[in-house]
A and B are shown apart, each in its own frame.
Chain A
Amino acid sequence: MQPTSHRFKDNVRGALADAALQRALGFFDFGQAGLAERRRQAVAKLPEFEALREQAKAIKDHTLANLDWYLERFEKNCTAAGGHVHWCRDAEEARQTVLDICRRVGARTVTKGKSMIGEEIAINDFLAANGIEPIETDLGEYIVQIRHEAPSHIIAPAIHLTKEQVAASFRDTHTQFDPARPLEEPRALLDEARGVLRQKFLDADVGITGANFLIAETGSSVIVTNEGNGDLTQLLPKAHIVLASLEKVVPTLEDAATILRVLARSATGQEMSVYTTFSTGPRRPGDLDGPGEYHVILLDNGRSQLLGTEFQEILRCIRCGACMNNCPVYASIGGHAYGWVYPGPMGAVLTPSLLGIENARDLPNASTFCGRCESVCPMKIPLPKLMRHYREQEYERRLAPATARMGLAAWAFLARRPALYHSMARLAADVLGRLGRRQGSFFNLPLATGWTATRDMPAPQGGTFQAQWRARQRGKGRR
């Protein structure tokens, strides 16, 4: 997809003015039904959650410190099981590799399990442009595909939509059915999508899935889903292609099991996802089913550049979505406003890491640093700190708007000169205090119109604390 992260502010205005989106986000909120609350309850039930978090973090830190070794070990074991590993430097190489496999097996249609790497390399558009029809099989992904949209959340792709919007899209797309059929209930939507997708599963020549983990010691890939669509996607076609970025690798099955225990709880509040599927190589002689070919696309796309930098910690991310589920900024604007594949706090770090800070400079700035993301991250990624590091890069490279830089410089000039600062503060507090005394606040302040457009600016009481304190001390001295 074409990134629009550089137009973040325009995206935000659109999102805030979109009544349907705001209605959908209302369901997402911090109330009892929300994913954030479900996570909180699941974590509260597991006393060892904090210890698991530490273990999970340590596993990823160790793996990232020895990433080359574990990736080669993964390749060796995957190959020994009959699979093929394709090292791809960037999105273009990855797309071409997928297309080559599809062409070789004569694919006409491809089913897809949910994959954020698929979004990152924009595989659907590329396959379609080359005459191969991609069909998303995760319900949320299917909904956004038929609407020609992108997912707005990494685990809940259609969370920006109301069920009425989904019903309307089904009526527009599934013209084979009675236009008067009832579609009010979510269950009816699910059943209809299942019916439509059933034949697509059977017809597909290639199945593409993502991977939640790659396991070095066995050469396996792991996916977790709640719908079972991933299993049909990878088992029925002639070839299974796994799209994975290189930080997905963990050393052992045991390590994957540890991280799985924090993953579903953090994501949806489930103890485990409904399906956790391990794939090791293609169908073996005597197996009842399974693909004839098993390929793993190992995508770098800028990630190896993060190793050894202050941004390496974002590579611990396991894509649970807890940071966005708990983010009040995400809850206000939705995922599309972030302008690329990865929204919310993890996206505010990963997007500039992969696209360049100059193409996403608003993202790490559009945070209040409330710290909720870091507090819920199962991998203990210090997201505000990493966003601050990007702000430092922006400051050093003078990417911030001139007005913001000048305002900051003027403020810092004063703050470093206490005597001048105090006399200026006192003057301003006295003037504004007098002007605001009767009403107590300002309805409009020339230098703060962003604020006063929608809220009053409380007036200072008048006279700074410092000035009043000094006066009081002098008074005491005289007594």
Chain B
Amino acid sequence: MSSSSSPSPRPRVGLFVTCLVDFFRPSVGFAAVSLLEAAGCVVEVPEAQTCCGQPAYNSGDRADAKDLAKRTIALFENFDYTVVPSGSCGGMIKEHYPELLRDEPDWARRARQLAARTYELVSFLHDVRGVRNVPVRYDGTVTYHDSCSGLRELGIKDQPRALLRSIPGLKLVELPGAEVCCGFGGTFCVKYPEISDKMVANKAADVIGTGADTLLAGDMGCLLNMAGKLKRLRLEEGARPVRVRHVAEVLAGMTDEPPIGEGQDKGRA
């Protein structure tokens, strides 16, 4: 991995691993660590982290959201950077913590300070660490879904594409409607499963239509939703198989684990 400039020698990065990566796909966390270390960072994982509080915040429960925000701030505010392998949780810390805590001046100040040093993983590698290529190979045709919060709250669009294009063997094809929500929406997919399913069905059709064999995105929630739908379509309607992975796995060259939603039973996969 080449790093065009190193602003400070080996910055200390606190990895906010996110509850979904922690629970569903630890390999994404290890891919993030590997990418960050290769980009010259010292990575630490504060043990007491749980969730950024977004489910409470978006459910109208400000008290619990504030409590979780304060815990997260206290755990991460002493790092040079906080890095999150998710635009959604990253957006929560960067965009919403300061607004959530606006009535408590001391916490609001701390929230703003943390926000200024918090980044989504891929944009951190590209924009802050100057990473322009990754020393891995991936043989396949890849399409990329822009997760909503990363795209619209954090402006993540070109960074993952730039890094993916640097990978030998990888052909990137654009996904029509890449900026349209997949229908996950956190608790939305539980509260309104029928609407959510309609949205992810549209998304899956677009993905299959690209002809890509691999779908990547930067957010575990969207990935679980799209992978789950693509797999069901394959099982029930014989749709073309698509491998679904977090973009970090491909960037780190850590693709030994089965794709999201696929098992070790290769016969069925």
Whether B58 sits at the interface, judged by CB under 8 Å, is yes
CB distance from B33 to the nearest CB of A (A): 8
Residues from chain A with a CB closer than 8 A to the CB of B50 are 414-416, 418, 421-422
Whether B144 sits at the interface, judged by CB under 8 Å, is no
Whether A464 sits at the interface, judged by CB under 8 Å, is yes
Residues facing B in A421-479 (CB within 8 A) are 421-422, 425, 428-429, 436-441, 443, 448, 450-451, 453-461, 463-466, 468-470
Whether A42 sits at the interface, judged by CB under 8 Å, is no
Chain B interface residue count, CB cutoff 8 Å, equals 78
* Complex interface bits, A3-37 against B, C-beta within 8 A gives 1, otherwise 0: 00000010011001000000000000111000000
Of A30, A428, A439, the residue contacting B268 (CB under 8 A) is A439
Whether the Cβ atoms of B232 and A454 lie closer than 8 Å is yes
Assembled-state Cα–Cα distance A356/B195 (Å)? 24
Interface of B is mostly: helix
Assembled-state Cα–Cα distance A453/B19 (Å)? 24
Q: Given A368-B148, A440-B262: A328 and B180 within 8 A (CB)? A: yes
Assembled-state Cα–Cα distance A390/B58 (Å)? 10
Assembled-state Cα–Cα distance A459/B23 (Å)? 10
Assembled-state Cα–Cα distance A9/B195 (Å)? 10
A interface bracket (residues with beta carbon within 8 Å of B): 35 or more
Residues from chain A with a CB closer than 8 A to the CB of B268 are 438-439
Whether B269 sits at the interface, judged by CB under 8 Å, is yes
Which of A9, A31, A461 gathers most chain B CB within 10 Å?
A461
Residues from chain B with a CB closer than 8 A to the CB of A390 are 60
Residues from chain A with a CB closer than 8 A to the CB of B57 are 388
Q: Given A441-B228, A461-B257, A469-B45: A455 and B197 within 8 A (CB)? A: yes
Whether the Cβ atoms of A456 and B231 lie closer than 8 Å is yes
CB distance from A27 to the nearest CB of B (A): 14
Whose C-beta in chain B lies nearest to the C-beta of A440? B263
CB distance from A383 to the nearest CB of B (A): 12
Assembled-state Cα–Cα distance A371/B186 (Å)? 14
- A-B pairs, top 9 by smallest CB distance, nearest first, are A368-B185, A440-B263, A450-B193, A395-B60, A391-B60, A370-B181, A465-B26, A455-B228, A458-B261
Chain A interface residues (CB < 8 Å from chain B): 9, 12-13, 16, 29-31, 328-329, 332-333, 365-372, 374-375, 388, 390-396, 400, 404, 408, 411-412, 414-416, 418, 421-422, 425, 428-429, 436-441, 443, 448, 450-451, 453-461, 463-466, 468-470
